[in-house]
Structure 1
Amino acid sequence: MQGRGALGLSPLRDLRALSAGDWIATGPDPALALGPAAAVAALSGRTVRIRCRPEGASPVLVVEAEGMEARRYRLTPHAAEPGTDDLIRLPAATRALQIEPGSERFRLDAVAVEPVGRAAAGLFRARKIVERLPAQERRPLRLLRRALGLLRTVPPGEILRRLTRAAATAAPPALYADWIAAVEVPSLPSAETMRRLVEALPDRPTFSVLMAAGAGDEARVGASLAGLQAQIYPDWELCLATQAPFPSVDEPRLRPCIPDGPGEAAALQACLAAARGTHIAVLEPGAVLAPPALLAFARRLTAEPDLDGLYADEDRLGPDGARTDPYFKPDWSPETLEAGFYLGRPTFYRTDRVRAVGGFRPECAGALDYDLALRLAEDGARIGHIAQVLCHRPAGAALDDAAALRALEARVARTGGTGEARRLAEGSYALRRALPERPLVSIVIPTAGRDSLIGQNRVNLLDNCLASIRTRTRYDAIEIVVVEHGVLPEPAKAAMTRHGARGVVYADPAFHFAAKMNLGARTASGEVLVFLNDDIEVITPDWIEAMLALLAIPGVGVVGPKLVFEDGSLQHVGVVFGEGFPNHVRRGFPGDDAGDHGSSLANRNYLAVTGACMMVRRADFEAVQGFDETYPVNYNDIDLCLRLRERSLRVVYCAEARLHHYESRNRIPVVDPSEQARFRRRWGAQVARDPYYPAVFGVRPPAFRLDAERFPQAARGMVEAWR
């Protein structure tokens, strides 16, 4: 241990020293303490630089201070030297610093903690940002030009905020218990306030909860009934079909239902027939509605009377009764619904709409409410979402995958097509419709014909891209249009001839992605356009069919594939918005990453997909006048997706289409400040809230992980929802 300000390192819990610097865990929660306590206290309220050299560990620094929850920071590997190097602002009244190694056996030495002044901190942040830039962007003149552009277009305070955040040490995901304490509990109105809200409702819907219970479910039914009796909102009934004796409770809102035959479908049909409420929802025995749940549903349905269905977020109850595994859901997402029953529970539907579509079909027993949701969606039901956790479901409750696949295949048959549904993982499915027609697809590729390293080989990117299209693509109704940026090198020209690509020259020497794409689209003949970077290589032979099958769904306007880096890690599985700007979700995660409830594994709706590969119908592209050429470099693809969405067209990430993208894995996006300012002016208000990415999740980077920094914003949103 060296360096001014170095603190001593000692085992705090669940650790044993093997030798100097070498440790082995002796329990489930190993941690080291930095001390002595007086030296730690002396650093309170100061910015400190912390360095260490770990081997076999991914250390997390835990900062404890009086009057606040512990803060955790995942220490960052240095870009050019071994070990980690971080700058962290310690809160006032810091009382303890700990290091959690995150592994069972590891080495940790050269730990140093020292305070730094404002100037040194600024230089440190600047160096970290510059080190992460592409080599060409680190040239002094490029840096100076970009800095001057920022100063002209962005206020100094905002520049400082961006620089600080860009160089900030990443925190591990926050705990769900922290979210409950920091967001949910302080945001909910009091019981007295909720009673006043009930009295203020001009029109009160009645809720019928349908429940089919089996032998041995008595205690679970009792828990669900107790949850209903704890509701502030009084207008409900529990329609219960059970093989066991009915609960002997004095509750007039408990209504026994006698099925016509055996099975869950018959039980729920009996409940549906007996229901007197305006809206129905299915709950399994043991599912407990949160006390404000029915009031939240009633207020939203009263405010939006044309809603046919309304769902909320949920979590699970562990064996000890603790709340775990939250599911913060996206807003209404038709293609996400085909990839899994993300609506879950609780979901209330208009009783008359459920009866009109036939209720519960016995052939889908095990996935009855998933099948119901699919049929209601086909019937044009308008579905809403309450972004609050309003149901605590028993652990282990899940769909029967075979029944879910039957429901999906029936959906295709009802909508007049053919197709195949496959299980990807528990609760995640791939529904592939057969193509009703095989339109000509024009693949538009802009290129300067440059070479690059792929693996250990230097290759011409255009040649590599064209060869992969011609040799691996199964779809045959394609044409390739290459937009030549100036005079291409001979290897690129020869590749175009060899692979049958048609060229059009973009003569302006300045780089202008939007103009090149528009030129290529005008030159192309296809009914469907695919915009493709030249550093793409095809992986799945049916990538075009998979994307076309989604584009053929009425209401879908843009489709983008899964892109992976050269090392197989994720580059693109959809674009989400945080703080008003777009970013790739789960970028850098392993290639087989399932994501959040299958978000990487299965098709999903997003606000945007990347222009590195996107598919759009020519008619839709021309209806919005193509790419906006006021965005020559950045945001042109995102802007296109958002303008198509303004025309009520959805954007879909297609998980079954996979391609390599030989972009530098560690590249930091470099954005022209004027384009950024223009994007914020045009779209800032519309993307301030991403309907497909809940506000409680982190945005630096976006990964569907709880982030304590976002808790205040999420709490404000919940407070607003109750006003």
Structure 2
Amino acid sequence: MIFSKQNRARRFLVQANRARDYRRWSEAAAFYARALALRPGMAGIWIQRGHALKETGALAEAEMSYRRAAELDPGSGDARLQLGHALKLQERIADAIGAYAEALSVEPGLDAARDELLHLGALDALPEFGQSGAHRAQRMAAAQTAGFALDRALRRWSIEAPRAITSYSAFRRDYPVCPPDGEAKGLIDVLIDARRTIPAQLRTTLLSLVDQQAREWQAVVVAPELADDPVASLAQVDPRIVMTAEWPSDYAGNRPYVLLTEAGAMFDPQAIAWFDDVAGRYTPAGAYADHDAALPDWRLGITRADPNLFPMFDRFFLASTEEPPLMAMVQRRVFAELDVSGPADAIRRAALLAAGEAGPVAHIPRVLVSRSLIPKAALEGEDDLVRPLPGRPHAPARAASERRLTVIVPTRDLPDLLAPCVRSLQARAAKPDRLDILIVDNRSAMPETHMLLKDLAREARARILTFDEPFNWSRANNLAAAHSTGDGLCFVNNDTEMLSDGWDVLFDGALDDPSIGAIGARLLYPDRTIQHAGVLFGIGQGSPIHEGVGEAEAAPGPLARWHVRRQVPAVTGAFLCCSRSAFTAVGGFDEARLPIGFNDIDFCLRLRALSLAIVYEPAIELIHLESKTRGFNRTASSRAWDHGELESFYDRWGDEMFVDPGYNPQWSAIGRPFEGVREPSRALVASHLDRSVRLNPWKASPRLS
């Protein structure tokens, strides 16, 4: 009887495997179930049944199969890995992270589970994460002794060493800034703004300057209130320091570069060496580095936090951010033209913007200075601290022009979505009469849709363009653009709803700037979490992703980047605006190779290839009803289509799709963006620097054929 059951189970398995090989998933799942009814203790077959069920979309049943396999084989990491996949597809991310972590705990060499945790941003679930360099090295050595293979994924860990942003201070202790490759050339004079400061802050700055590894520098300290303070005696101790009561409008130094900073800035020992090396190697018009905050304690040492990791030079971001770089180096000729009457941060901001007009501006992706905070014990005394002067710029108000703007909205039925989309665009516009609303009707069949189109044509003066062809997003928008009448084109998904009053004025203002190729908006999910704050390149597995996904509406992001106007590699086509001339210059969207996906990203890259900027404008805000997990395609056919378009996209752009000038290489490229930091390799730092000193580091270059 037992022999008979085994034979019957074997026959069912043969039939199941044959059906699996021919991708007949429902049939395969049924045969696996019949085999398991006879031999329920086969853990591997429960996994195979789970695979077949997952392919049919029966995710809950697949989950139960994987759980049964894990119960039967407690040492199987694969069963838990597959369980994690099924949970992820059901949008149960927290449960999926638990399954992947359990898979890694029972099978430490299972790098597929490690990669899944990285891509989901669950860095704290990894055993290597958050440990010191020495502890991590011990674990890796133990793994080798135990026979675990250190393949590509584990070697990547040893190079990138991602650490949670919450352990940033320990990370900085483990990874001090390394010196540059070049030798000191003595090209820099330092100007320290010590107006409206206290002696302790200036003392911190001067002592850190004296401790520089590079010895060739001169420093002028503007300290009108501190001429008789003991801190001024440091100028007598070190002849490289000069104290003055007035900001020198015509700086008397003789070196070709001036490095601007302020009292309270604590130089890294390698700071002058790095700026000096960049000045000699690239001769840029200007340069800046990253900074953090440092809280000193005479017993416990320095605690560091709040890393300000800047993008490559971006005049939009620099003009918008509340906190410009704490160190700004510019050529002497640039400094000579500056207005130095304002606060220190405003002078540095103006210096870098002026340098950007004069030539390339290098970004050094190293934390070379810290904003020294006042220790808590010192704050217990009488408050004589002088607060910094405000320096945040304010954007001037704009008046609406008479320029006509065409709004293009493709739709196929969905009248409940289309109505609030179109009506909100018109209701929120400052000058709705100048909007040319063009609805592209792609084979709508519902009577309610046709009634709505008639209503919109009457009340919103919308024009209806019939598009009686198979769905092709790129072609639908190209045809609509050909029928448009506006100087500006705005492509809008029908599942959006405008929230911002005067959005048309902001778009209209962008058309006045010939350097702007396209602008995108800040998109929110219906629950008011972020759906899009620009597009990021080179994160995780490499495919472009939306920035800020799932974060709270009020979350600012690093350097408040989700709240400020800035350049991005691309923006989503759910709301994308451009001038007619820019659209024509690149030939519109690619309707042949990219009819469904990546067409908006490709369009932005082609604009960037013409040295035009792609700008994220957070003042334009919409609700977007797209699913938070739209990326999880549930059928093999849809996944294959996506991969095909991604391949076409990569064939055109190559490694350009992995380069994001706005993403500092000190942020980890694995896991959720901005949740981990890493020590970038010298090659990565050099590559970033080389690109940053291009006249336009945001310019994209297609792959050479």
Same fold (TM > 0.5): yes
1:177 equivalent to 2:160? Answer no
Q: For the structure 1 residues 622 and 554, does the alpha-carbon distance in structure 2 shift closer, same or farther, using more than 3 Å as the test? A: closer
Cα shift at 1:657? 0.9
**Is 2:576 the partner of 1:614?**
yes
Query: Are residues 1:360 and 2:340 paired?
Result: yes
1:278 lines up with 2:236 in the alignment: no
Question: Amino acid of the residue matched to residue 407 of structure 2?
Answer: I
Which one of the candidate residues 448, 461, 468 is aligned to 2:412? Answer: 448
1:517 aligns with 2:484: no
Contact 1:584–1:702 (8 Å) recurs in 2: no
Indicate if the aligned counterparts of 1:224 and 1:289 stay in contact, CA closer than 8 A: yes
Residue 346 (structure 2) pairs with residue 382 (structure 1): no
Give the whole-Å Cα distance in 1 for the aligned partners of 2:241 and 2:676. 38
CA contact (8 A) 1:341 1:370 kept: no
The equivalent of 1:318 in structure 2 is 295
Partner of 2:144: none
Preserved contact between residue 446 and residue 534 of structure 1 (Cα < 8 Å) = yes
Give the match for residue 128 of structure 1.
Answer: 87
Q: Deviations over 1:327-348 (max 9, x none)?
A: 1111111111121255422111
Give runs of aligned pairs for residues 136-285 of structure 1, distance below 5 A. Answer: 169=122, 171=124, 173-174=164-165, 175-181=167-173, 184-185=175-176, 188-189=178-179, 197-198=182-183, 204-213=185-194, 217-242=198-223, 243-245=226-228, 246-248=232-234, 249-257=236-244, 259=245, 267-269=246-248, 272-285=250-263
Deviates further, 345-354 or 577-586: 577-586
- How far apart are 1:496 and its partner, in Å? 2.3
1:483 corresponds to: 440
| SS in structure 1 of the partner of residue 391 of structure 2 | helix
The equivalent residue for 1:350 is 331
1:717 pairs with 681, 684, 704, which one?
Answer: 684
Q: Is the 8 A contact 1:580 1:680 kept in 2?
A: no
Q: Counterpart of 2:421?
A: 465
The one-letter amino acid paired with 1:247 is S
Q: Check 1:238–1:113 CA distance in 2 against 1; reply closer, same or farther (3 A cut).
A: farther
| 1:491 counterpart letter in structure 2 | E
- Pairwise CA distance, 1:479: 0.6
Partner of 1:300: 278
Kindly indicate whether residue 613 of structure 2 is the aligned counterpart of residue 682 of structure 1: no
2:695 alignment partner in structure 1:
none
Aligned residues: 536
State the AA in 2 paired with 1:623.
Answer: A
Equivalent residue, structure 2, for 1:640: 603
Give the Cα–Cα distance (whole angstroms) in 1 for the partners of residues 312 and 356 of structure 2.
17
Note if contact 1:129-1:167 (Cα within 8 Å) is conserved in structure 2. Answer: no
* SS of structure 2 residue aligned to 1:519: helix
Name the structure 2 match of 1:599.
Answer: 561
In the alignment, is the contact (CA less than 8 A) between 1:330 and 1:692 conserved in 2?
yes
Question: Which structure: greater strand fraction?
Answer: 1
Matched, 1:692 2:662: yes
**2:318 aligned with 1:337:** yes
Q: Which moved more, 1:676-685 or 1:325-334?
A: 676-685
Bigger CA drift: 237-246 or 385-394? 237-246
Instruction: Single out whichever of 650-659 and 540-549 deviates more from structure 2.
Output: 540-549
SS of 2:214's equivalent in the other structure is coil
Q: Say which is worse superposed, 113-122 or 483-492, in terms of deviation.
A: 113-122
Tell me the amino acid that sits aligned with residue 309 of structure 1.
G
Deviates more, 1:562-571 or 1:377-386: 377-386
After superposition, give the CA deviation of every residue in 1:650-670 in whole Å (9 maximum; x if it has no partner): 111111111111122343354
3-state SS in 2 of match to 1:685: helix
**Secondary structure of 2:431 counterpart:** coil
Does the 8 Å CA contact 1:531/1:615 hold for their aligned counterparts? Answer: yes
Deviation, 1:386, is: 0.5
Q: Which residue of 2 aligns with 1:528?
A: 488
Per-residue deviation, residues 300-339 of structure 1 (Å, max 9, x unmatched)? 222222x211000011121423222211111111111121
- For 1:704, the equivalent position in structure 2 comes to 674
Q: CA deviation at 1:560?
A: 0.6
* Residue 539 of structure 2 corresponds to residue 580 of structure 1: no
Partner of 1:662: 625
CA shift, 1:435, in A, is: 4.7
**Could you tell me how far 1:532 is from its partner in structure 2?**
0.3
The CA deviation at 1:604 is 1.8
**CA shift for structure 1 position 541:** 2.0
- Paired residue for 1:626? 588
Gaps of 5+ in 1: 1-78, 88-111, 135-156, 260-266, 409-420, 422-430, 452-459
Q: CA–CA distance in 2 between the matches of 1:568 and 1:600?
A: 14
CA distances 1:162-188 after superposition (whole Å, capped 9, x unpaired)? 777667845483421343255x33x72
CA contact (8 A) 2:197 2:263 kept: no
Q: What SS is found at the alignment partner of 1:197?
A: coil
Q: Distance in 1 between matches of 2:561 and 2:663?
A: 11
In structure 2, runs of 5+ residues without a counterpart are 1-58, 94-109, 126-163, 376-384, 634-638, 691-705
SS in 2 for 1:180: helix
- Go from structure 1 to structure 2 and tell me whether the alpha carbon gap of 1:472 and 1:436 turns closer, same or farther (over 3 Å shift): closer
Residues 557, 401 of structure 1: CA spacing in aligned structure 2 closer, same or farther, 3 A cutoff? farther
Cα separation, 2, equivalents of 1:507 and 1:541:
34
The alpha carbon displacement at 1:400 in A equals 8.1
The percent of aligned pairs where both chains have the same amino acid is 24
SS state at 1:384 partner: strand
Query: SS where residue 530 of structure 1 aligns?
Result: strand
User: 1:515-549, CA deviations, whole angstroms, 9 ceiling, x for partnerless residues?
Assistant: 11111111111111000000011111211212332
Shift in alpha-carbon separation, 1:599–1:375, aligned structure 2, 3 A: closer
Going from structure 1 to structure 2, the CA distance change for 1:550 and 1:378 (only over 3 Å counts) comes to farther
Letter of the structure 1 residue corresponding to residue 435 of structure 2: I
> Partner letter of residue 178 of structure 2?
L
More helix by share: 2
**Residue matched to 1:571:** 531
Tell me the distance in 1 between the aligned counterparts of 2:111 and 2:659: 20
Q: CA deviation at 1:277?
A: 2.4
Q: Which amino acid aligns with 2:522?
A: K
Check 1:133–1:467 CA distance in 2 against 1; reply closer, same or farther (3 A cut).
Answer: farther
Residues 205 and 279 of structure 1 are in contact (CA less than 8 Å); yes or no, is this contact kept in structure 2? no
Q: Does the 8 Å contact 1:279/1:349 carry over to 2?
A: yes
Pick 1 or 2: higher relative contact order, CA cutoff 8 A, min separation 6.
2
Q: Is the 8 A contact 1:210 1:240 kept in 2?
A: yes
Q: Secondary structure at the match of 1:659?
A: strand
**Alpha-carbon distance, 1:368 to partner:** 3.7
Q: Cα distance 1:649–1:719, how it changes in 2: closer, same or farther (>3 A)?
A: closer
1:132 is paired with a residue whose SS is coil
**2:334–2:351 Cα contact (<8 Å) kept:** no
Residues 101-158 of structure 1: CA deviation (Å, up to 9, x unaligned):
xxxxxxxxxxx99944144134313312432399xxxxxxxxxxxxxxxxxxxxxx99
Contact 2:286 2:328 in 1 (8 A): yes
Q: How many angstroms does 1:205 deviate by?
A: 4.9
Q: 1:568 to 1:721 in 2, by over 3 A?
A: closer
C-alpha deviations, 1:642-694, integer Å up to 9, x for none?
Answer: 11011111111111111111122343354511112222232231132311012
